[in-house]
Structure 1
Amino acid sequence: MPLADIRKVQVIAPNFKRRLSGVTSTIIQLLPVQNRQGQHVASLGPGLPSTLPFIRFRDLAQLWAAPADGQVRVWHARRNLEMLPAIVMRDVLRMKIRVVFTSASQRAHTRWTRWLISKMDAVVATSARTAAYLHVPSTVVLHGIDTVRFSPPADRAAAKRACKLDSAKKIVGCFGRVRHQKGTDLFVDSMIRLLPQRPDWTAIVAGRATAPHVSFENDLKARVAAAGLSDRILFVGEHTNIADWYRALDLFVAPQRWEGFGLTPLEAMATAVPVVATDVGAFSELVETGQHETGSIVPRDDLDAMTIATAGFMDDEPRRVSAAACALARAAEQFSIEEEAAKLNAIYTRLAGGHCLTTSV
């Protein structure tokens, strides 16, 4: 792991939980982009890959001094346990830092969390829905994705064959952890309803069931077998090359019952795949349902609505083709990870007293 020179570090991104989470994934994906844009961002804490620049806990003693090319550093917290030490460093130890907090929560905060947030120098919300739960002013910065990694295939039939899928079939997919919260059962039940009348379609579930959810997955497989669809509703497990699996799809379904933000619809859209998604997380802010349709939004936990919306795309190829083109354009123009990094840098620059924290944005 490359040790960063604390004298040059302008932004610190702490990660104080070893377990992989959405916050950890955000840091892993965002930091390389921020540094490519000229921001000097370093991570702090466990559970991160060796490719990210980092500082050591003992380097924090140097936060009493200003960075080499600025007046203050920015500490970008994404959890309660990352806000608290920053408040102590800034207000008790009088270190030269400003503190940003990113909130992805879509529920009422506890009194303790509200107090911590009230002490921030700036607050970022990952969606308008998240911002509505905050009691302080915030800036909405939607997550972006790597539109190079997630990009459409030159030949979708070849992409299907690469995943050992039948290239003559149209594929509808649901990706993510297999569990009740993610609505995997809603996807499976809708496919059990839809596939018998649509022999040209196959469904895939890509994702892992962790130990507490194995029985849930086994029950779904039993339902599929009882319906005689084990060869058409495929559980393909977890894959590190998930972008390749998106390229094999003709339609994506995001059936979650709850989500903090949710990147899967964006990943599908960037791969030129239309999306049927529930109205949770930021999905309604990602998926366009108007004139430039990229998919449909349906109420959470509503199997009938999901089935009807999914059938509407499965049975209308011109609609799918049009929505796929709009999805690709929307993802590329509005949801690149480079755009997310640039918007965060504007916040950092303001906190640093107008001193620009990048040379290229």
Structure 2
Amino acid sequence: MRSPLAPDPASVTVLHAVQPGDGGVARVVVDLVRAQRAAGLRVAVACPPGTVLSAAVRAEGAETHDWRAGRDPGPRLVRETRELARVIRAVGPSLVHAHSAKAGLCARLALRGRIPTVYQPHAWSFEAVTGTTASLARRWERFGARWADRILCVSEAERRTGEAAGVTADWSVVHNGVDVARFATEGPPGNPVPTVVCVGRLCRQKGQDVLLAAWPAVLAEVPTARLVLVGDGPDGERLRAAAGPSVRFTGAVDDTVPWYRAADVVVLPSRWEGMALAPLEAMASGRPVVVSDVDGARESLPPAHTSLCLVPPEDPAALAAALGRLLGRPELRHRLGREAHAHVLSSFDVRRTGAAVAGVYRDLAGVRGAEHREPIAQ
């Protein structure tokens, strides 16, 4: 039975279980922690120690608990689940909010419906793999849904992808948001050469290899163009080996804002997403974006931009054509940038996201868990 009244915020403890400890997921969690702390909730975060996320949530005043979890499932899964269960017992949360596939797996195995649980995939696990592994991931997501009181998706497309995979759940969709004031900038960059910036972890998901495959065609159209890849990751060495002299790698950076401001165009050629943060941040900075047509992309763009800025995933030719078109038309870039900024300001402010997630929590107030109530894993 759900309580008709929201609980006193001072009596509510939220535990965020998070893996990974960096990138877009970490930025989403930091924003939620900030909003929830401001609302008077007790907030705890279980995440890998020594990460950007661990330091950031500690700076926000949240309790931090070391949870040594890797990105992938494997032989450490039992230990990782037991460690998370120990954190849950120590914190005594009113609600657990699990972020990403690994945290969703461990949290649901540890809790099995005993405490109200929100699972936020941040893109589905089965999209990152193929063959038998993908089949197993779909089977788990279908089975594990029974131990989530709410599955929280960041786009309607992400929800539809889950439904198409056979996941049956009580769904909420809350779009990602960004701090528009932080990313706001004044006017175009005024670069001496046309500059394309890609912000993202250097990994297969983000598709930087597709971008490098497209880049020679961009240079054929705009010979002075330069490409900057911002971030680091497991594919860094391979990508650097494939890049030419017009491509710069920054490595990991503490602040992406200067790179958005330096861009004429921001690109993210992902293979899969829920709703990527980088395009929202770029648009908040008044920059036009080119993105692949994966989950969340159409919902994040101004509707009038889809014909110019949306390309099929894993299509270097289409990507090169879109980038060349924008690089060759400064006035078009400036107009799209202004429209993009207004769009994010009206629809993707991080305060809207925080308020909507708070609404999900209120909706679960008084829920004692799903039908399958078992002791928390030891």
Q: TM-score range with shorter-chain normalisation? A: 0.7 to 0.9
Aligned length: 313
Matched with 1:126 is 154
Cα distance, 1:200 vs. partner?
Answer: 4.9
For residue 234 of structure 1, the aligned residue among 248, 256, 260 is 248
What 5-or-longer segments of structure 1 have no aligned partner?
1-6, 65-72, 91-97, 158-166, 225-229, 355-361
Distance between the aligned counterparts of 1:87 and 1:33, measured in 2? 28
Post-superposition CA distance 1:217-271 (Å, at most 9, x none):
23223xx1xxxxx1x3322332212111101111111112233432111111110
- Please list the CA deviations of residues 92-147 of structure 1 after superposition, one character each: whole Å capped at 9, or x if unmatched: xxxxxx32222333447533432332233222112112212131231111111122
- Is 1:100 equivalent to 2:118 in the alignment? yes
Alignment of structure 1 residues 55-70 onto 2, 5 Å: 60=89, 63=92
> Which residue does 1:176 correspond to in 2?
200
Change in 2 beyond 3 A, CA 1:240/1:63: closer
Looking at structure 1, the residues matched to 339 and 45 of structure 2 have their Cα atoms a distance apart, in angstroms, of: 39
In structure 1, the residue matched to 2:263 is: 249
Q: Percent identity?
A: 23
Residue 325 (str. 1) matches residue 343 (str. 2): no
Structure 2 residue runs of 5 or longer lacking an equivalent are 1-8, 49-53, 66-85, 127-134, 368-378
Larger helix proportion of the pair: 2
Shift of the 188–16 alpha-carbon distance from structure 1 to 2, 3 Å rule, reads: closer
The structural deviation recorded for 1:201 is 3.1
- Match of residue 54 from structure 1: 63
* Structure 2 match to 1:276: 290
Shift of 1:302: 0.6
CA RMSD after TM alignment = 3.0
Structure 1 residues 272, 139: CA separation in 2 closer, same or farther (over 3 Å shift)? same
In the superposition, relative to structure 1, how do residues 110 and 250 fare at CA in structure 2: closer, same or farther (>3 Å)?
same
| TM-score, normalised with respect to structure 2 | 0.73
| Aligned AA (2:289) | V
Please, which of 110, 121, 126 is the counterpart of residue 85 of structure 1?
Answer: 110
Deviations 1:42-93 (A, max 9, x none): 12424322224127767847859xxxxxxxx332223121123333534xxx
TM-score (norm 1): 0.76
Alignment of 1:301 onto 2:314: yes
Is 1:143 equivalent to 2:181 in the alignment? no
Structure with bigger RCO (C-alpha 8 Å, 6+ apart)? 2
Q: Rg: which structure is higher? A: 1
Q: Provide the residue aligned with 1:202 in structure 2.
A: 226
Pair 1:18–1:143, CA change in 2 (3 A): closer
Detail structure 1 runs of 4+ shifted over 6 Å in the superposition.
none
- The 3 A distance-change label for structure 1 pair 18 and 234 is closer
SS of 1:75's equivalent?
A: strand
Q: CA deviation at 1:21?
A: 5.9
